[in-house]
Amino acid sequence: MKHTFQHWTIDIENHIAFVTLNRPDKKNRMDHTTLFELGELTGIISDDHDIWVIILQSNGECFSAGVDVSLIGQMMNQEADTYRDNLRMAQSYLDAFESIEKPTIAALHGHVIGGGMILALCCDFRIAAENVVFGLPEVKRSIGVIMGTQRITRTIGLAHTKELVMLGNPINAERAQQMGLVNDVVPFDDLDSHTLEFARQFLDLPPLAVGLCKKIINEGQFLERSGQDLEIELQKAILKSQDFKEAISSFFEKRKPVYRGV
């Protein structure tokens, strides 16, 4: 099955959704249309129970060179309230994608700059080609990182975040892995196959339980002690699922489980 947007495509095959940012002539820079369509496709992915895992990728020479300059130019002339509302709307699309209760994997190549890096950080896992260059150059343009400083901090910690955000210098794939920004670094020619192999691990797991674990991790980090209560509350619903019964039955019957996502 395929869904086509102006700036994106979604191809669904064997429980895997390949979500592709498709503005190669603009180096996959993001504008209002890109972000609005991200919100639309997030709804499609969330509602399709046949999708168990998502691979986020891009066509062209790089993953994304960031926010389109036209969008930045528009922001410069806006009233404060309009500027704030537009940023909150853009943020909501990224938040929704980040909150999908299914595993998301970003396949990264070339430049992953500014907003492109924030988009990648909305994924649960990041696999980088050896030619990747990460950067958050906003400070050199006399602005702060928007739509995601907290995402960076949660991923790599305060010290590394301050290095990237306050200096604005680019880093290569090796340094990114040292910081914990990416899970794996692979040769460019192996990026697609390695990412697919990584994604296929989730096809042997019960999708409802995987989504539950993601929700607990993402939301529980903000709840401290009450995060443990969240674990307990969310477990109750999954105990009634067919996948839970199948997991227990297959364990005692010493056979491979067959999950259906219900």
The pLDDT, as a whole number, for residue 9 is 97
Q: For the chain, give the mean pLDDT.
A: 89
The pLDDT, as a whole number, for residue 86 is 76
According to the per-residue pLDDT averaged within each range, which of 1-5, 86-90, 235-239 is highest? 1-5
The pLDDT, as a whole number, for residue 91 is 87
Give the model confidence (pLDDT) of 93-112 as tens digits: 999 999 999 999 999 999 99
Give the model confidence (pLDDT) of 126-178 as tens digits: 999 999 999 999 888 777 787 778 889 999 999 999 999 999 999 999 999 99
**Considering only 19-28, 111-120, 184-193, 246-255, which range has the smallest mean pLDDT?**
246-255
Q: How far is it, in rounded angstroms, from Cα 134 to Cα 202?
A: 27
Q: Domains in the chain, ordered, with CATH?
A: 2-203 (3.90.226.10), 205-253 (no CATH)
CB under 8 A, 24+ apart: contacts of 85-94: 87/146, 87/147, 89/35, 90/32, 90/35, 90/147, 91/147, 92/39, 93/35, 93/36, 93/38, 93/39, 93/42, 94/35, 94/38, 94/118, 94/119, 94/122, 94/147, 94/148
Which of 20, 22, 11, 21 has the alpha carbon at shortest distance from 50?
A: 11
Q: Is the pLDDT of residue 207 over 80?
A: yes
Q: Is the pLDDT of residue 230 over 70?
A: no
| Prediction pTM value | 0.88
Which of 122, 106, 125 has the alpha carbon at shortest distance from 39?
A: 122
Q: Partners of 9 in the beta sheet?
A: 4, 20
What share of the chain in percent tops pLDDT 70?
Answer: 91
